[in-house]
Amino acid sequence: MMIRAGLVGLGKIARDQHLPAIDKVDGIALVAVASRNAQAEGVQNYPDLGAMLAGEPDLDAVILCQPPQVRYATARQALLAGKHVFLEKPPGATVSEVEALTALARQKNGTLYASWHSRYAAAVAQAKSWIADRKVERIDIQWREDVRHWHPGQPWIWEAGGFGVFDPGINALSILTEIVGEPITLLSAELEVPSNKQAPIGATLGMATASGAAIDTVFDWRQTGPQTWDIAVETDNGSLLLSEGGNTLRLDGEVQMKAPDEEYPAMYRRFVDLVERRAIDVDTAPLRLVADAFLCGRHCPTAAFED
Residues annotated catalytic, as ranges? 89
SS3 assignment, position 32: strand
Strand bridging mode 202-209 / 184-194: antiparallel
At 270, which helix (H) or strand (E)?
Answer: helix 263-277
Residue 110 amino acid letter: G
- Least distance to ligand NAP from the beta carbon of 156, Å? 5
- Least distance to ligand NAP from the beta carbon of 172, Å? 13
Total binding residues toward ligand NAP, as defined by CB under 6 A: 21
The answer to the question of residue 145 lying near ligand NAP (CB under 6 A) is no
Burial category of 41 from C-beta neighbours within 10 Å (exposed 0-12, middle 13-18, buried 19 and up): exposed
Using CB under 6 A, which residues numbered 276 to 305 contact ligand NAP? none
Q: What track of x and - describes contact with ligand NAP for positions 160 through 179 (by CB under 6 A)?
A: -------x------------
**91/125 Cα distance (integer angstroms):** 22
The answer to the question of residue 147 lying near ligand NAP (CB under 6 A) is no
**257/43 Cα distance (integer angstroms):** 38
For ligand NAP, the closer CB: 130 or 264: 264
The answer to the question of residue 10 lying near ligand NAP (CB under 6 A) is yes
Instruction: Write the CA distances from 108 to 53, 104, 215, 278, integer angstroms.
Output: 17, 6, 39, 10
The answer to the question of residue 6 lying near ligand NAP (CB under 6 A) is no
For ligand NAP, the closer CB: 199 or 233: 199
- Least distance to ligand NAP from the beta carbon of 234, Å? 29
Name which of 12, 304, 7, 4 is nearest 154 in CA terms: 12
Which pairs with CB-CB distance under 8 Å and at least 24 residues apart come from 47-51? 48/8, 49/6, 49/8, 49/74, 49/77, 49/78, 50/77
Instruction: Determine the residue with CB nearest ligand NAP.
Output: 11
Q: Evaluate whether 252 touches 238 at the Cβ level (below 8 Å).
A: yes
Q: What share of the chain is helix, strand, coil (3-state, %, to 5)?
A: 35, 30, 35
- Least distance to ligand NAP from the beta carbon of 162, Å? 9
Interface residue with ligand NAP among 44, 154, 223, 256 (CB under 6 A) is 154
Using CB under 6 A, which residues numbered 114 to 133 contact ligand NAP? 117
- Least distance to ligand NAP from the beta carbon of 307, Å? 13
Interface residue with ligand NAP among 36, 106, 298, 299 (CB under 6 A) is 36
Q: Evaluate whether 216 touches 142 at the Cβ level (below 8 Å).
A: no
The answer to the question of residue 68 lying near ligand NAP (CB under 6 A) is yes
> Of the ranges 32-40, 188-196, 197-205, 241-249, which one interacts with ligand NAP (CB under 6 A)?
32-40
Interface residue with ligand NAP among 20, 23, 38, 183 (CB under 6 A) is 38
For ligand NAP, the closer CB: 50 or 301: 50
**165/156 Cα distance (integer angstroms):** 12
The answer to the question of residue 12 lying near ligand NAP (CB under 6 A) is yes
The binding site for ligand NAP (CB under 6 A) comprises: 9-14, 35-38, 65-68, 70, 88-89, 117, 154, 156, 167
